[in-house]
Amino acid sequence: MHQQVNGHSLGSDTQGRTSLKGDLREFLGGEVPLHQLDDLTKVNPVTLETVLRCLQARYTEDIFYTNAGCTLVALNPFKHIPQLYAPELMQEYHAAPQPQKLKPHIFTVGEQTYRNVKSLIEPINQSIVVSGESGAGKTWTSRCLMKFYAVVAASPTSCENHKMAERIEERILNSNPVMEAFGNACTLRNNNSSRFGKFIQLQLNRAQQMTGAAVQTYLLEKTRVACQAASERNFHIFYQICKGATKEERLQWCLPEGTAFSWLPNPESSLEEDCFEVTREAMLHLGIDTPTQNNIFKVLAGLLHLGNVHFVDSEDEAQPCQLMDGTKGSVRTSALLLQLPDNMLLESMQIRTIKAGKQQQVFQKPCSRAECDTRRDCLAKLIYARLFDWLVSVINSSICADFSSWTAFIGLLDVYGFESFPDNSLEQLCINYANEKLQQHFVAHYLRAQQEEYEVEGLEWSFVNYQDNQTCLDLLEGSPISICSLINEECRLNRPSSAAQLQTRIESTLAGRPCLGHNKLSREPSFVVMHFAGPVRYCTAGLVEKNKDPVPPELTGLLQQSQDPLLMMLFPANPEEKTQEELSGQSRAPALTVVSKFKASLEQLLQVLHKTTPHYIRCIKPNSQSQPQTFLQEEVLNQLEACGLVETIHISAAGFPIRVSHQNFMERYKLLTRLRPRTSSGLRSLCPAKGSSEQPLCAKEATLQPLLQDILHALPALIQTATTPSDPAKTAQIPLYCGRTKIFMTDSMLELLECGRAQMLEQCARCIQCGWRRHRLQKQEKQRRAAVIIQAGTAVD
């Protein structure tokens, strides 16, 4: 028996799986097995339980993609299945006349967006929102979609153009390993977790060929450089250079074998993502030459040594903190790699510069041990964040096309999923805030907009009760007071703020908000937000400082004195644009906070999404242990509830997905009026009595044009010819609704109309053929009689 993966035969001769369990078969009553249902809207009834059963049945059969109305559900298989993403399969979906009739796949979504761009129907630009919690497969999904577009959107005619297209595709695909090496890390939930959000804009020209791309990033978790949670790791790139460097490179970067680094936890763990050569090769393709690469890795090695610098409290508060025994060598090595004077590097961490008075007199104050650690961490985060932004700019300069050369784009949005850890801080607050906004975008586009359209068209719609998250967003960002505004205000006041005081202020100011809670069992100051995906507890300790994200001016000044070529480029001595610290120092205008900057970039992203045709892929993690063939119902159930999947299915299944304007409907189906003569009985045959349990939805007949009425009068006869005498119940309902400006119908009704139209065209063709044959026979008969008469006349003569 051939093995099936996602419904595609892989040609394996391994034995097939055993049949589904009895309780799953019982639901269907002996009809189509659950694993054969490609769309969750076909599950009956549509409930969380039945949807869960269907997904589990398909997962058991190695079928990982399932439609859910307007959404694609992607279950993470947690194993490599190269055949499922082969170029041959990409071409199969691309060449299919109707890709939606093939097995559900991310290539179906990819092909639909590509054809939408080719159709030139507004809005031409497309976007795909790939969502799901950490470890659900968002990064892999985005990567496969980029490969799909690289294959199908490259068909230039000339050889020169073909080589150019290949270079563009290669660079776009090579941006992935670089971004993942510097921006991804191993977390408790995912070995390759993206620690930043990204929006990839794939640019297409008028011939729908991919000419370039652009990457926009959001909220890099730069704190991970200096602080990693238990059992988690730093960014992949640090492990790559430590494991993949040659002996000569180890000497250059001062990375002897067996050296322990405080900022390199769990070095013994070996991951697929630790492949150094893949990253180096990709950087070369993006135009980052070997000397520049070595410069980057040398700076990163300097950060690792900086993490081994530790301080002890000074006995005299007037004196700077002393270095812990054995760490002086780390200062010298870090300074050597960063090409900084070691005394200046140490002094920038030990002593704080204060400007006071009208004359801006400069005072120096020794820092406490905690402040020394904070300044050390700040220095590392500052360098890494600038390096990451520079890499993104290099990638964009390598892959971005000239604005005049592209006319449309397909956007891939890959952002963090909802996060809830034992201890959550500002990073999780921003991540979950972004997910709330994206959930609102999804609800607005597919649920509210659809219901409103039905109401405008005069359809009496039974509204689906879905969970609205506006109250949560009001709590997070609402005006005039919200959690974000209170945290920002604490930053502007520039006063000492304890964690307990911040908790008290949030709870007292926002008291009575339905989405604000409090964990009475928590020993640490915190507050709880009831998110759309569930409650999350945020610790208030360090929240204000993280939001300020202060960079001491002396640290920036120190880096501007570096002789390292890379750092000289990242921290120019005379920058054209003044830094935020300099601007805020010269004027009393408050500096932008992390929350303010993130909120502004998020609003900008949503404006882009609102101007595109959105598509959604919901990635689901079957289990938290990343084990294949393991489907834990409780964990999947939580994710289904969080993404509002069932509400979407209800809308899609209960509504009318096919919509055609009155004019287009009349032009296409006016032939159907031949099915029955015009009557003055109105639409009674179309609408059963009010007592009927299956009364179709109709607008007032007075609003309909006469031709449209004639077509609608013919529908009962059309349906009656398509139903068997043993099943008269099907004629009780017409799966079509005539709105004020549009005709709404189901897929089955569209198929029935097309079948009736084909029959009428065939009848018309037969009539024409019969008429022509009759005409030809009559003509032949006349010619024969004329010939006989002529012959008879000739004989008489």
Predicted confidence at residue 577, as pLDDT, reads 53
Looking at every residue in the chain, the average pLDDT score rounds to 83
Using 50, 70 and 90 to split pLDDT, how confident is the model at 36?
Answer: confident
Where residue 693 falls among pLDDT bands split at 50, 70, 90? very low
More confident residue, 165 or 742: 742
Residue 107: both structure tokens together: 């290539």
**Angle at the Cα of 109 (from 106 to 112), degrees rounded to 5?**
150
Position 723 scores a pLDDT of 64
Q: What are phi and psi of 788, to 5 degrees?
A: -65, -45
Which residue in 715, 594, 733, 724 sits closest to 656, CA to CA? 733
Q: How far apart are CA 72 and CA 14, in angstroms?
A: 29
Residues in the chain: 797
Angle between helices 369-399 and 553-560 (to 10 degrees): 60
Query: Above 80 in pLDDT, residue 579?
Result: no
For residue 248, the SS3 value is helix
Q: Is 249 strand, coil or helix?
A: helix
Percent helix, percent strand, percent coil in the chain, to nearest 5: 50, 15, 35
Query: How many angstroms separate the CA atoms of 419 and 435, rounded?
Result: 10
Q: Say how far residue 41 (Cα) sits from the centre of its chain.
A: 22
Backbone angles phi, psi at 63, to 5 degrees: -115, 110
Tokens of 531: 């998110």
Q: What is the mean pLDDT of residues 107-119?
A: 93
**Lowest mean per-residue pLDDT among 605-619, 692-706, 729-743:** 692-706
pLDDT of residue 22: 46
Instruction: Name which of 39-43, 163-167, 664-668 the model is least confident about.
Output: 163-167
Place of tokens 């007199």: 361
Q: Residue 112's pLDDT band (boundaries 50, 70, 90)? A: very high
- Coil, strand or helix: which one is 442? helix
What is the pLDDT at residue 718? 80
- Name residue, tokens 């490259």: 154
Task: Name 371's Cβ contacts closer than 8 Å, sequence gap at least 6.
Answer: 352
Q: Which residues pair with 414 in a beta bridge?
A: 130, 198
> Residue 68 pairs with which residues in a beta bridge?
71
Residue 338: pLDDT over 90: yes
Q: What is the CA radius of gyration of the chain?
A: 34
Beta bridge partners of residue 526, listed in sequence order: 539
Q: What pLDDT band is residue 225 in, cutting at 50, 70 and 90? A: very high
What's the pLDDT tens digit per position in 519-554?
888 889 999 999 987 899 999 999 999 999 889 999
Residues near 40 by beta carbon (within 8 Å), at least 6 away in sequence: 46, 51, 54, 55, 66, 67, 68, 69, 73, 645, 649
* Contacting residues for 139 by C-beta, under 8 A, at least 6 apart: 180, 184, 192, 194, 414
Query: Is residue 386 predicted with pLDDT exceeding 60?
Result: yes
Q: What is the pLDDT of residue 682?
A: 40
pLDDT digits (tens, 9 = 90+) for 285-337: 999 999 999 999 999 999 999 999 999 998 888 889 999 998 999 999 999 99
Mean pLDDT value across residues 578-590 = 48
536 phi/psi in degrees, rounded to 5: -135, 135
* Token couple for 645: 């999947």
Give the pLDDT of residue 170: 82
Instruction: Give the separation between CA 13 and CA 1, rounded to whole angstroms.
Output: 6
Q: Where are the beta strands (DSSP E) in 701-781?
A: 736-738, 742-745
Which has the minimum average pLDDT: 353-362, 378-387, 555-564, 781-790?
353-362
Strands 408-414 vs 197-204: parallel, antiparallel or unpaired: antiparallel
- The angle at the Cα of 703, spanning 700 to 707, to the nearest 5 degrees, equals 110
Confidence of residue 151 (pLDDT cuts 50, 70, 90): confident
pLDDT band for 11, please (50, 70, 90 cuts). Answer: very low
The predicted pLDDT at position 1 comes to 43
Pairing state between β 534-539 and 322-323: unpaired
The beta-strand segments (E) located in 491-622 are 516-517, 526-531, 534-539, 613-620
* pLDDT per position as a tens digit, 411-433: 999 887 778 888 899 999 999 99
Closest C-alpha to 226, from 371, 338, 377, 376? 377
**Around Cβ 245, how many Cβ atoms within 10 Å?**
18
Mean pLDDT over 258-282 rounds to 92
The angle, 0 to 180 degrees and rounded to 10, between the axes of the packed helices 106-119 and 138-152 is 50
Q: Contact, 48 vs 648, CB < 8 A?
A: no
